[in-house]
Structure 1
Amino acid sequence: MSYTFEIDGECVWDPSLRTGQWYLASAEAAAAFLGCQTGLTPQEDGTCTVNFATFRVFVDAVLQFYSSTRHPVQHALTRGLLLTSLVILERGGGAITPRSPREEEVISAAVEFSRAM
């Protein structure tokens, strides 16, 4: 069983059910912490629709949070969510321009990470 993430009816990620649910729960927790919306809406049919504009703002907020410190624990806690989010954003046709070497590093890492998704 899988948990498909869709932008405008197009599948951008099709993880296993539990992986998709874990990502969604993590994204919702991060959005609540950061004071923003995810743009992710779970559907009754077992898919999750992505409002691209809102999701882009969410990903940028997570990226800013990640790059706001050199704290290794904050980076470790944030990195998986951020990498996954950057890949979904890219697959939906979007990208974020890095504002610092730290942002450039994690955005580049998302390219490699996308192969596992």
Structure 2
Amino acid sequence: MVLVSYPFQLADRSRILWDPALRVGQTYVALAQRTGEQYGLPTGLTENDRLGGSDVDPAVFQKFTQGVYDGYCSTNNFVLHGLLRGLLLPSIVMLEKGGGSIARNHEWEDGLLENLDAYVRVMRTD
């Protein structure tokens, strides 16, 4: 079987949160894992051998996304903002599709969520 996508689904398998192309999904997981290590946060992503993607534990993933968001808001480093933005936007979309949300710090976001609607549109699964 040749895999062409990398689905992210809730751990209870009740909903697919995102179904990107294989390399996109693999790249996202690699970024999330390394960032989680850097911040001391488990990602909540577990490889799913059956589908070839990842199961998402919503409670752990929420803590991961919140922690990375808080890290983003804790600095004004332009380069770090750019690096984290690419991970945070799809994370926030998946989190919200799974029923979660982040506690926002509007003062320190520095335009992070300006493109969130575009991510929501291109990450549709239904």
- Computing the radius of gyration over CA atoms, which structure comes out larger, 1 or 2? 2
Local SS of the residue matching 2:54? strand
Q: 1:112 aligns with which of 99, 111, 118?
A: 118
Q: Which runs of 4+ in 1 moved over 6 A?
A: none
Task: Tell me, in whole angstroms, the C-alpha distance in 1 between the residues paired with 2:112 and 2:83.
Answer: 14
**2:40 corresponds to 1:42:** no
Cα offset, 1:72, TM superposition: 0.7
**TM-score scaled to structure 1, two decimals?**
0.92
Task: Tell me, in whole angstroms, the C-alpha distance in 1 between the residues paired with 2:60 and 2:20.
Answer: 21
**TM-score scaled to structure 2, two decimals?**
0.86
2:45 and 2:56 in contact (8 A); partners too:
yes
Residue in 2 aligned with 1:22?
27
Paired letter, 1:80: G
Residue in 2 aligned with 1:101?
107
Cα gap change, 1:29 to 1:73, in 2 (>3 Å): same
1:38 and 1:55 in contact (8 A); partners too:
yes
Residue in 2 aligned with 1:79?
85
Task: Tell me, in whole angstroms, the C-alpha distance in 1 between the residues paired with 2:122 and 2:16.
Answer: 16
RMSD: 1.5
Consecutive unaligned residues in structure 1, runs of 5 or more: none
Higher helix share: 1
What does the per-residue CA deviation read over 1:32-54, in whole Å, with 9 as the maximum and x for residues that have no partner? 00001000001112021000000
Q: Percent identity?
A: 40
Q: 1:31-70, aligned counterparts within 5 Å? A: 31-45=36-50, 46-70=52-76
Deviates more, 1:20-29 or 1:43-52: 43-52
**2:3 corresponds to 1:3:** no
